[in-house]
Structure 1
Amino acid sequence: MKYINAKFLLPDALVKELQHYIQGGYLYIPTDQTQQKCWGEKSGYRQELQQRNCRIRAARRQGASLEHLAEQYCLSIHAIRKIIYQK
């Protein structure tokens, strides 16, 4: 998490109001639940994993062994099984 100096972000009146409650400390402001994104949604990694998993399932349907897939994708056989059998 990157810290931002409140003086550079907030109006002076709000900074002074906050100083009544906390000075020189750290204040965590949680994300609004209606605007919160799912894991990997912002970076695109979730979609990348879904595409990888589709390729793994397709290769398995074409006869690739679990051992080969595990080695190819640097995953354990257990992880490959989870990907293949998930719905």
Structure 2
Amino acid sequence: MTESLDVTRKKLRFRAWHRGTKEADLMMGRFADTYLQGFGADDLAVFSALLEEQDLDVYGWVIGRDPVPPEHRTRVMELLQAFDFTIEGLR
């Protein structure tokens, strides 16, 4: 039996806020707080796959320093790249 989407969201939110570095926690955690509730099963699976990647790799893709690998060229990555991580984004 598969877990409910709400349980999946809670697990992914926890993982997003516990990446290993404060910078990654803030980037992925704030993104999760903003978007996970609206994500369906497919987007949740895509976000879960991103959380399996190394923080520095994801950061490089998000800021455009490094090309995004084909398997991560998704709507979720586009949202992540467009997300406002600045202090102004908290207002």
Would the TM-score normalized by the shorter structure come out above 0.5?
A: no
TM-score, length-scaled by structure 2: 0.28
Which gives a bigger RCO, structure 1 or 2 (Cα 8 Å, sep 6+)? 2
The TM-score, its normalising length taken from structure 1, stands at 0.29
Counting helix residues as a fraction of each chain, which structure ranks higher?
A: 2
